[in-house]
Amino acid sequence: MKINVLGCSGGVGGRTGSTAILIDQHILIDAGSGIDELSLAEMRNIRHVLLTHSHVDHICFLPTFLANLFGYTDEPVTVHALPETIEVLKDCIFNWQIWPDFTELPSEQHPIMRFSALEPWQPVKLDEIVITPFSVEHTVPTIGFSLQDSEQHFVFTADTRASEVLLDQLNRLNDIDTLVLECSFPDRALEMAIVSGHMTPATVKATVAELANPPKQVWITHLKPSYEEELREVFAADPDCQNWRVLP
């Protein structure tokens, strides 16, 4: 599978748009402002959107992205998410006030979008990729995704705080080639990170150190723009993190 990180920022004003990762041509993980990197034609190739949770930096471009598909698709785009996330999207976004309900447009028989509810540890197979959602701890119901094909195992842990839950979930997965962990705040803002369900360099390092099977690669994502340059300097200076990739 081909992994194209379109956006990896934890907000607006960073080096990229917010979280959006394109898998091959047709699967999108989260629908943050990173989608803006794609051409219209590339957007119209997307058939599946996997959402980690309902926070706005991960869903902000979903409504307008879907609007680009009118007249270009007979088959609806499937938005895969936890039932709780689907409910929030229905109530707060696709409610005819913020945006139309695209599960009914242009018609209920042939809508632009349909929802598909995910359950942790119930895999979904899209083409040759087995996608397994797993629960993480954030401030709203949130899932990470394990994506596995014959070539590689890619694991995106979404927004999460460091916890026994996270370690337990990651240790249940097979050998991981690429593990993407978020790091939103510096260690001096540890209290804020814990309260808001996020990680700092120290908690990221502790998590990686405690994994039963170390991943081949670690990628760091979701730097909050206010702390981005500071966090990049911390990782660049840390001898334990020299093989890590701080996205993009």
- What is the bridge-based pairing of β-strands 178-182 and 217-221? parallel
Smallest gap from Cβ 65 to Zn ion, in A, equals 17
Q: Which of residues 18 and 148 has its CB atom nearest to Zn ion in the complex?
A: 18
Write down the least CB distance from residue 197 to Zn ion, Å. 7
Give the footprint of Zn ion on this chain (CB under 5 A): 55, 57, 159
Q: How far, in whole angstroms, is CA 167 from its chain's centroid?
A: 18
Q: Closer to Zn ion at the Cβ: 55 or 205?
A: 55
Query: Smallest distance, Å, CB 146 to Zn ion?
Result: 19
Which C-beta is closer to Zn ion: that of 159 or that of 169? 159
CB of 176 to Zn ion, least distance (A): 21
50-81 per-residue burial string, b: 16 or more CB within 10 A, e: under 16: bbbbbbebbbbbbbebbebbeeebeebbbbbb
Q: Token pair of 117, please?
A: 């509810």
Residue type, 231: L
The span from the CA of 215 to the CA of 119, in Å, is: 25
Which of 58/153 has CB closer to Zn ion? 58
